[in-house]
Amino acid sequence: MATDLKNLKIEFLEYLEIEKGRSIKTVENYDRYITRFFIFAKITSPGAIKETTVREFRLHLNRQAGTSGTMKHKTQNYYLIALRAFLKFLRKRNIDSLNPERIELAKVGARDLDLITAQELERLMQGPKGSSLQALRDRAIMELLFSTGLRVSELCGLDRDLDLSRDEFSVRGKGEKVRVVFLSPTAKRAIKEYLEKRGDIDGALFIQMGKAAKSAKDLRLTPRSVERTIKQHAIKVGITRKVTPHVIRHSFATDLLENGADLRSVQALLGHANITTTQVYTHVTDKHLREIHKNFHGKRRR
């Protein structure tokens, strides 16, 4: 078993990729965060990781220049989360080092959601005009995103052999976790019309078209292409605020909550590992509580 930090880090990164199912991008980020800590601390063994060293590293990060003068707490936490995961890995291997529970994350403010109104969402859905293959594809993309709440990476990974005779299908999300998502009649119809127009034999559900397709080695649509497509349609229908696939995912979640779904169910549909991630949408349930208070509280005193 490796005992030096360099080899232990390699084993940890392989563990993330193979056993934990993390994406290559996530593994690369963890590598960068942990390596920066090692360089700062000038240590070569697990036992040399001390609480004082971590505190000094946090001060170092906090004093790094950022857009607001210092590095944002959210960005600092990326480093701390990676280091804590590495320490948990060491503990699992019975290697003596700092207790990962000794590392506390920096407090960050409540996350602001990029949201669009129901009216703006409807305008966006009506954006792709006509019966061209590209218009049908774009309509199918947006209807599918709103029907399922898929992440853009999950959407791009879908194959065209989707069983449209059913109202649901399984998707493999973050951490290789499988969840079930559901198709609305509108989404099924949009996908069916798009696939019927397709004349190629590519296995991907959503493919590139036009100039991009001619120079591409792989026709499968990329997340970046989907983001550009949605942005273009948002501009065309006069939506001035930022609109991305993730904004449609937010609309999916808030629509469910506004119509009475509970937070745990929304967590499962979004594929969140932790309920605290889903709690970012409590502004919707808070609004519902305000309405209840307004309608039912203090009636005798009016």
Per-residue pLDDT tens for 71-100? Answer: 888 889 999 999 999 999 999 999 999 999
- Whether residue 184 contacts residue 200, with contact meaning beta carbons closer than 8 Å, is answered with no
Active-site residue identified among 9, 151, 233, 250? 151
Amino acid 123: pLDDT: 94
Segment 118-131 mean pLDDT: 93
Query: What's the residue count for the chain?
Result: 302
Distances (CA, A) of 146 to 12, 109, 198, 252, 270: 37, 28, 22, 5, 11
246 a catalytic residue? yes
* Whether the predicted pLDDT of 40 surpasses 80: yes
Segment 241-245 mean pLDDT: 92
* Whether the predicted pLDDT of 297 surpasses 80: no
**In the structure, what pLDDT confidence band is assigned to residue 116 with cuts at 50, 70 and 90?**
confident
Per-residue pLDDT tens for 264-289? Answer: 999 999 999 888 888 888 776 666 66
* Whether the predicted pLDDT of 166 surpasses 70: yes
Domains of the chain: 5-102 (1.10.150.130), 118-291 (1.10.443.10)
Amino acid 19: pLDDT: 87
What integer best gives the mean pLDDT of the chain? 88
Q: What is the pTM of this model?
A: 0.69
Three-state SS for the chain is: CCCCHHHHHHHHHHHHHHCCCCCHHHHHHHHHHHHHHHHHHCCCCHHHCCHHHHHHHHHHHHCCCCCCCCCCHHHHHHHHHHHHHHHHHHHHCCCCCCCHHHCCCCCCCCCCCCCCCHHHHHHHHCCCCCCCHHHHHHHHHHHHHHHHCCCHHHHHCCECCCCCCCCEEEEECHHHCEEEEECCHHHHHHHHHHHHHCCCCCCECCECCCHHHHHCCCCECCHHHHHHHHHHHHHHCCCCCCCCHHHHHHHHHHHHHHCCCCHHHHHHHHCCCCHHHHHHHHHHHHHHHHHHHHHHCCHHHC
Active-site residue identified among 272, 283, 288, 300? 272
Per-residue pLDDT tens for 196-217? Answer: 999 999 999 999 998 777 777 7
| Between 298 and 7, the higher pLDDT residue | 7
* Whether the predicted pLDDT of 134 surpasses 90: yes
**In the structure, what pLDDT confidence band is assigned to residue 64 with cuts at 50, 70 and 90?**
confident
Active-site residue identified among 30, 79, 194, 281? 281
* Whether the predicted pLDDT of 68 surpasses 60: no
Active-site residue identified among 84, 233, 249, 250? 249
174 a catalytic residue? yes
272 a catalytic residue? yes
249 a catalytic residue? yes
Q: How far apart are CA 10 and CA 6, in angstroms?
A: 7
Active-site residue identified among 60, 160, 246, 283? 246
Q: How far apart are CA 125 and CA 146, in angstroms?
A: 9
**In the structure, what pLDDT confidence band is assigned to residue 108 with cuts at 50, 70 and 90?**
low
- Whether residue 253 contacts residue 149, with contact meaning beta carbons closer than 8 Å, is answered with yes
79 a catalytic residue? no
- Residue 129, classified by CB atoms within 10 Å of its CB into exposed (0-12), middle (13-18) or buried (19+), is exposed
**In sequence order, which residues have a C-beta less than 8 Å from that of residue 158 and are 6 or more positions away?**
171, 204, 205, 206
Segment 241-254 mean pLDDT: 92
**Residue 47: CA count within 13 A, CB half-sphere:** 2
250 a catalytic residue? no
Range with the lowest mean pLDDT among 161-165, 205-209, 235-239, 274-278?
A: 274-278
Active-site residue identified among 160, 174, 192, 283? 174
Amino acid 257: pLDDT: 86
